[in-house]
Copies of this chain bind each other. A is one copy, B any other.
Amino acid sequence: MTINVTVWGENVHERQEEDVRRRYPEGLHGAIAAGLRERLGGNVTVRTATMDEPSHGLTEKVLAETDVMTWWGHAAHEDVSDDVVARVHERVLGGMGLLVLHSGHYSKVFRSLMGTTCTLTWRDAGERELVWTIDPAHPIAAGVPNPLVIEQHETYGEPFGIPTPDELVFISSFTGGEVFRAGCCYRRGKGRVFYFSPGDQKYPIFHHEGVQRVLANAVLWAAPPGGAGEPLRNVHTPITW
């Protein structure tokens, strides 16, 4: 069965910053989508959506056709419509997979799914990040080098204000010595959520083969068998048996 993936991009840095545009001529979303197409080929149909489109490109129709969504945002979290956030949240609870990338930790949708601050500590010195596999049997780690070496990246540090992950797959370290839970799995309602911390706009992370492998594995892991169900709204169910 083909997995329908919608790659959502905030698409602000790419439009405003020359160096980001040079790094990601098709936008970060474009690079993420290209990586998934290259790694997963005919197993996926990948479309992109961005904040500047009507409904941020996330209409009911688009969501109804989406099995797995990826979310990258940073500069404009607060500009994302609460209605769209609710729509995405309900879809995740209904079974749609969600990959939250890097600064997306602070997006409305991730925070509303986690119920916590989702804050972290950070600094940017372009240091080397090593992404270590904690759970070698986890499908998201399949074929990922251990450690996955990212020559230069922004530093994220603990404490990371999240609930205890249902499955912890990766932990990163940085040249300065910080550590970070870089790959975290959650089951929420009928949906699966995977947070992955590499992916700052100032670095060519999404062109990195190992990162692309992680995201491809995560799409396969998060895809609901038989497709996503109806959105789960907060409706009680009388006992029927």
A25 sits at the interface (CB 8 A): no
A2 sits at the interface (CB 8 A): no
0/1 per residue, A210-241, Cβ < 8 Å to B? 00000000000000110000001111111111
| CB-based contact A179/B189 at 8 Å | no
Q: How many copies, total?
A: 4
Known: A173-B173, A178-B173. A157 touches B188 (CB 8 A): no
Q: Tell me the residues in window 147-179 of chain A with beta carbons closer than 8 Å to chain B beta carbons.
A: 147, 155, 157-161, 163-164, 166-168, 171-175, 177-179
Q: Which of B111, B115, B234 interacts with A119 by CB under 8 Å?
A: B234
Give the complex CA separation of A213 and B152 in angstroms: 36
Q: Which of B118, B188, B225 interacts with A142 by CB under 8 Å?
A: B225
Give A141's nearest chain B residue, CB to CB. Answer: B159
Q: Which of B116, B137, B172 interacts with A179 by CB under 8 Å?
A: B172
Q: Which of B118, B130, B136, B187 interacts with A137 by CB under 8 Å?
A: B187
Interface residues on A, range: 35 or more
A209 sits at the interface (CB 8 A): no
A95 sits at the interface (CB 8 A): yes
Known: A163-B163, A163-B186, A239-B122. A234 touches B117 (CB 8 A): yes
Give the complex CA separation of A89 and B240 in angstroms: 34
Q: Inside 8 A of A164's CB, which chain B residues have their CB?
A: 166-168, 187
Q: Inside 8 A of A111's CB, which chain B residues have their CB?
A: 234
